[in-house]
Structure 1
């Protein structure tokens, strides 16, 4: 390639991880952290709602799932919008939305108004996370993309765990509304910082043929050598037969990606059945098992805290088979979640098992966006990640209703956790199917194009002066 024509991913791969990329990482991490905090907040305030408004457990199912319906809607719409209008704009609007409506939720007068406001909060939350993942993955070196993206996504379980710790301190002092106020004010402050410092993806700019000056101004903050470039290119495998798809939706539903897309959706769905069944109901289940309210909150907060293991999983994904690595985590999750139900009367063991189960579960679930980001090309990456997260949210809705239904059927403590563990086995099988499908596809591609395989499956996107 000529010296004045530069491949943007080559620059990112060959350069040190710059302060500019670290700043982008921190901003995306904070977005996902607040996403996790606001998403999990309703589970931590649920016992207070039962007491203040005189509710029964079954009455909580709509408000616990309202944000998840919003999350699904926000993700499904935001992915295609980000592939069309850019990652930064959608991120700014989404963080603004969930900040405003989380703050408004703190002033809800009854369960119906809180449910409606939680849905609107969820729309912003659902739009924010997949685009933060997409933006960070597009600023990451190829050889460390999964590890960096997973590290950024750790903000979600850490935010959820932070919510539990803060809730245990704030609710006794200022009531449950203070948790939602905090979850609204901080995102609004972050929007002001994002306006000034959050960049647009250079991969997106090249893919959309944006002015070369705009690409150069961003990429030069990673490598000053690009100042002499007169054109930027992006070379990658795209849709069937090397032809660029017209939209992100067409990419993820094309023959090349359809099986993998469905398996990603199913895996994430099953993971969120487990996550939301536990994050929303563990404080209540533990209190009913005899733990004090504060102890129940603190032990429940250990479950999302375990997501920091995703960094190590990302390192493994960059070096070994990513599908199989995550599948093993889900298989072990099934064992650990079932074990929680056997520890109700031993607080010490319960703490250990909840943390181990959380580490395995959240490591697997937090690794899924990175897996999707690597699986799809630039033209469909935001849509692919967002649709996996959006469709998966219906698993969160199912998880929220699942425990209520199990309680209605009078299953005991141990039986509830055995049922919750089963979706992890389904997720394991789905990832193995995705892997086998990819291997079969690779063999067919090799047979069809032995000599011209690389050139037939690639498209070079260029922006010039």
Structure 2
């Protein structure tokens, strides 16, 4: 081992630099990854009318196919967590992109509900494994002054992907058939995976934590600061040594982080339950108040439109105020919007405005949860923490539509459905307040132990 003459804290170094073209490249790649991830996740929904007619089955029978995709997303995220630490985050991201790209192309061969469901399950596993790594990569290359905003910014790729899927489906399906949607959904991630393989680095703190060769770390830092020399430099992290001794699941479920982990899972699960319930059943609920299908659909789109404003706004606020309080307040705002909306059955304009407010709070908060997890866990558990939170939370995406169908079957009133959703969203807010309290106690305990050893 060569002698080193100086030590460089990589986190502090990134914080002190301007945001360079190389970091812009990472941002764009992560944004596109999220966009194509969501494109593939929602693609089957845009071809259901065509397939139902071609296969002579009812649209309702595609419910299990869509559930299989969501289940795959959850399983993929849970599997990816340990793999991020056993292999490396970038390797998992690229392999996952190749996987869901090939499975998307394979979807073109489906000729029944069963085969379609299997292909969507496999595609979902790849999708769920790729997404958490994007948040980790962006978090570790973003200066602290703007990391919340940038991590949230890549999350907005979700809306771009969903919108692009709708526009592409409308343009290509009538002329080239339903398979054309999955050709694009398969080729694009494979191409982007190749680009990311050569154009993006491994997460910086991951390389330092795993004691990668100094010249490989220096090569990445030179792309951020070309004029600086890193000869004879030893790269370190500012995290305490205890946080670097464990990795992956052992960190996420360790005594110090266990309570916060459970609260993150609870918050994401509750939020996903309400969000997917609203996506699936809001048009039907609004139509039940006397609105037309077009009016109900337009009102529902405000849920996502509010999410854009919420995601960027919360990213800015988390950089300036306590992030747990910011997201808890966002969930509370979303819950208030939902509750008021439930009492506007005869006023479509006010109902739409309340849905927009709910979108700012709920959609924006969900889009901010990846940063919340990234900032909560140390480097050794960051990727696993994000992926497991999303994996557990996505089961809410399965529960939500089922709960909505049950309430409609039991003839719950319009206001009652919205009141129940409000309570679930407020449970997400309460979970984050409990996470904040648990984190404060854990930090105080660590400080006390350090003081005693000193």
* Superposition TM-score, scaled by structure 2 size: 0.89
Tell me what 1:300 maps to: 300
TM superposition shift of 1:338? 3.7
Shift of 1:110: 2.3
- Tell me by how many angstroms 1:195 deviates: 2.7
* Larger CA deviation: 362-371 vs 5-14: 5-14
Displacement of 1:377: 0.8
* Alignment partner, residue 280 of structure 2: 280
Q: Does 1:430 align with 2:431?
A: yes
Residue 64 of structure 2 corresponds to 62
Deviation per CA, 1:347-379: give whole Å up to 9, x if none. Answer: 544543333222221110111110110111111
Task: Note if contact 2:9-2:238 (Cα within 8 Å) is conserved in structure 1.
Answer: no
Distance in 1 separating the partners of 2:5 and 2:293: 65
SS of residue paired to 2:125: helix
Comparing 156-165 with 397-406, greater Cα deviation is found at: 156-165
What corresponds to 1:352 in structure 2?
A: 353
Shift of 1:69: 1.2
- Structure 1: any 5+ residue segments left out of the alignment? 457-465
Match of 2:268 in 1: 268
Structure 1's 154 and 117: CA in aligned 2 closer, same or farther, altered over 3 A? same
Question: SS at 1:406's partner residue?
Answer: helix
1:198 and 2:172 matched: no
Q: Partner of 1:31 in structure 2?
A: 33
Q: Distance in 2 between matches of 1:301 and 1:192?
A: 34
TM-superposed deviation, 1:9: 1.3
Q: 1:185 to 1:11 in 2, by over 3 A?
A: same
Label 1:363 to 1:203 Cα distance change in 2 as closer, same or farther (>3 A): same
1:190-339 → structure 2 map (5 Å cutoff): 190-238=192-240, 242=242, 244-283=244-283, 285=285, 296-308=296-308, 309-339=310-340
Partner SS, residue 237 of structure 2: strand
Query: What CA deviation, in whole Å up to 9, does each residue of 1:252-279 have, x standing for no partner?
Result: 1111111011101111111111222222
What aligned pairs does 1:12-91 form with structure 2 within 5 A after superposition?
12-46=14-48, 59-91=61-93
* Contact 2:263–2:432 (8 Å) recurs in 1: yes
Matched with 1:377 is 378
Preserved CA contact (<8 Å) 2:5 2:233: no
Partners of 2:408 and 2:420 in 1: CA distance: 12
Structure 1 range deviating more: 324-333 or 73-82:
73-82
- Provide the rounded CA distance (Å) in 1 between the counterparts of 2:354 and 2:5: 56
Check 1:291–1:430 CA distance in 2 against 1; reply closer, same or farther (3 A cut). Answer: same
2:4 equivalent to 1:5: no
Cα distance, 1:232 vs. partner? 3.3
| 1:462 aligned residue | none
Number of equivalences: 450
* Structure 1 Cα separation of the partners of residues 276 and 359 of structure 2: 12
Q: Distance in 1 between matches of 2:266 and 2:45?
A: 24
Deviation at 1:176, TM superposition (A): 5.3
Deviation, structure 1 residue 283: 4.8
1:147-203 alpha-carbon deviations (Å, 9 max, x no partner): 211112221244334445555666666665544443333223322322331221221
Could you tell me which residue of structure 1 aligns to residue 443 of structure 2? Answer: 442
Q: CA deviation at 1:139?
A: 0.7
Q: Name the counterpart of 1:463.
A: none
Between stretches 52-61 and 246-255, larger displacement belongs to 52-61
Per-residue CA distance 1:374-409 (angstroms, 9 max, x = gap): 111111111111111111111111113222222332
- Shift of the 273–175 alpha-carbon distance from structure 1 to 2, 3 Å rule, reads farther
Q: Which runs of 5+ in 2 are unaligned?
A: none
Computed over aligned residues only, the root mean square deviation of the Cα atoms, in angstroms, reads 2.8
